[in-house]
Structure 1
Amino acid sequence: MKMKKNLIALCLSAGLLTAAPGVSVADVNIVPQNTTAAPSIPTSALSQLHWTPADQSKTESISLASAGQRLNVAGISGPVAAWSVPANIGELTLTLTSEVSKQTSVFAPNVLILDQNLAPAAYFPSSFFTYQAPGVMSADRLEGVMRLTPALGQQKIYVLVFTTEKDLQQTTQLMDPAKSYAKGAGNAVPDIPDPIARHTTDGMLKLKVKTNSGSSVLVGPLFGSSGPGPVTVGNTAAPATAYSAPVAAPAAAAATPAPAVKSEPMLNDTESFYNRAIKEAIAKGDVDKALKLLNEAERLGSTSARSTFISSVKGKG
């Protein structure tokens, strides 16, 4: 895992395959934590939605025309999709796909990630979801890959998908099937116009959830840094028992405070064991495990686990 100057809360990165025609790099180089750009949605309205559990073992699909839900909030047009995702299984990779219909239309998705308390934590606007040409097993689609690391202590996070009036005024340029075939076969690409897909309020969405196996971008400063606090999805402090319900975190949370240290000092062998385990977890990119070890060590009286954690993270930068 690539680790630069930052430490947990919500880890986010774009895993985009190709840029959409007419979309600049700046358009997809977004800052997901800027939730102020998303529509303001009252918690009471969010709590009335039915959040469909997303299963890791399969791809979740929804036809917005028949199964979409209504959310009467300014800035959102048409039906929405709402999923809940397990937040106690470590880092997550969410792949959202919006398929182009046979009528040459497509739903331009925006995604708002909410923490366990339904507080906004990250926003991926429609420009994040770029056009992907059809392949052997896939159709024309808009697609984006979101990598997230929920803060410790949460059972679920929530994924809200919607489109906006601005999106409905735009279109997506597709690739003509003949061009796609020629590229795949290594032949000369014919000089023919590409079809244009209009944006609509209905469409077919697919969500795939899996645990991360690759790198992700860690958002938020390291312990002891002078930069602004991290944007969190829930409380970053480790609970007394694994994954108990957390208290809602502020938008800019302070670094995780050190747990109360026992008055009795830790034995040297035990101290060495925890420091070695923390280093090994960081080396493998498992920040979640390293944090658990840090908190456990300090509860047992460690005085060096925190400095070991920080130096190990900096060493991975």
Structure 2
Amino acid sequence: MNKKVLFISGLLLLNGCSTIVDNQYQIAPKGKAVTQIEKAKQLPLEMDKEIKVAVTTQTQVLDIHSIDSPGVIFELPMVKNGLDINIEAEINDSVFVPSAKVINQSGDIRAELDDRGLVYLKPRLADGNRLQGNIKVHPQVGDSALYLVIFTDKDKLDETVAVSHPAKLDAEGRGNYFPEVGDIQVPRALTGTFSIEAAALGARTSDQSIVLPALSATERPQQESVTFYHQAIRAAIADNDVDKAMGLLRDAEQLGITDADQVFRDAMKAQLDKQ
């Protein structure tokens, strides 16, 4: 991942799709459009090892399962207890906003992640602005192979991602308050860099702190947090991931979001009514 923090306000004027590539990154497999996973070029995925990938203008285009964008396919190890996969996209002058699908050998979708499941991580230590998402998958009876497909939503390239202004970050680092500086809007792109790491479910003892929701640009920060936690709790329960929903509920209550418990209970009731 690029170690450069966005400390230039001139980022507001940048709207290109440049990709920073150095020897930290694997270049995503090149090629023309593919319509079948078994015919696509793949990258190996090693457990408990961070893999950094650069998606470029030469990356193979995926035309499968309603996907139409440059993408990367990983063949997943068949772990009995399931996989916990963390994805982080680096935000530079543009950002490859990742979506993901886990698909078995028959084309059945086992898990999905879209931009609603991403959170924005502020610069920390050597890491710059990032989007983070998590996807969990359990092999099911009949699954002989599982593939993780990472791509971006081509229909949303006219949208932006909000990142904290460097002046505000500097003020926060000094313990000051700098409310009059707005967020910087970074354009989405078909190219960019991301990292991925897979572990057995239950192997991670703690997750990184959730900061602000990534894709909101107009609401005030406090309302952003409320909206994010409401949506994240509902999404986790809809995915039958009650443990994740409980964790989000605890985090929300610590932030003073008093109605998070009601959102949790309403979502649980709605999910039970569907069954």
Normalized against structure 2, the TM-score is what? 0.56
**What percent of counterpart residues are identical?**
21
Deviation by residue 1:123-171 (Cα, 9 ceiling, x = unmatched): 2222212222111132111111122222256454211111223221211
1:156–1:59 distance in 2 versus 1, CA, 3 Å: farther
Distance 1:138 1:155, change over 3 A: farther
**What's the C-alpha RMSD, in Å, of the aligned pairs?**
2.9
1:168 aligns with 2:160: no
Q: Which residue of 2 aligns with 1:193?
A: 182
Query: What amino acid does structure 1 have at the position aligned with 2:175?
Result: G
C-alpha deviations, 1:164-188, integer Å up to 9, x for none?
2322121111111232233344322
Which residue of the other structure, out of 114, 123, 126, is the alignment partner of 1:137?
A: 126
1:231-250 Cα distance to aligned partner (Å, 9 max, x none): xxxxxxxxxxxxxxxxxxxx
- Residues 29-76 of structure 1: CA deviation (Å, up to 9, x unaligned): xxxxxxxxxxxxxx9522211221211131112111067322245954
2:194 maps to which residue? Answer: 205
2:109 is matched with 120
Q: Deviations over 1:70-125 (max 9, x none)?
A: 22459544311111111224221100111112xx2001111111124332222222
3-state secondary structure, aligned to 1:106: coil
The letter for the 2-side match of 1:48 is K
From the two aligned structures, give the one with the greater strand fraction.
Answer: 2
Give the drift of 1:217.
Answer: 7.2
Whether the 8 Å contact between 1:88 and 1:152 is mirrored in structure 2 is no
CA distance in 1, matches of 2:173, 2:152: 32
> Structure 1 residues 112, 74: CA separation in 2 closer, same or farther (over 3 Å shift)?
closer
Secondary structure class of the residue paired with 2:87: strand
Counterpart Cα distance in 1 of 2:65 and 2:109 = 16
Unaligned runs of 5+ in 1: 1-42, 221-317
Q: Which residue number in structure 1 is paired with residue 96 of structure 2?
A: 107
Amino acid in structure 1 at the alignment position of 2:196:
L
Contact 1:108 1:167 in 2 (8 A): no
1:166-219 CA deviation, whole Å, 9 max, x = no partner?
221211111112322333443223522221110010000211101122699796
1:110 corresponds to which letter in structure 2?
S
Cross-structure match for 2:69: 78
Name the CA shift for 1:97/1:49 in 2 (closer, same or farther; >3 Å). same
TM-score under structure 1 length normalisation: 0.49
Larger Rg: 1
One-letter code of the match for 1:144? G
CA distance in 2, matches of 1:156, 1:199: 32
Please name the residue that 1:54 is paired with: 45
Question: Does the CA contact (< 8 Å) of 2:80 and 2:139 recur in 1?
Answer: no
Paired residues, what number? Answer: 176
Higher relative contact order (CA 8 A, sep 6+): 1
What amino acid is aligned across from residue 172 of structure 2 in structure 1? K
| Unaligned 5+ runs, structure 2 | 1-33, 206-235, 241-275
| Whole-Å separation in 2 of the counterparts to 1:219 and 1:129 | 15
| Counterpart amino acid of residue 50 in structure 2 | T
Counterparts of 1:193 and 1:80, CA distance in 2:
32
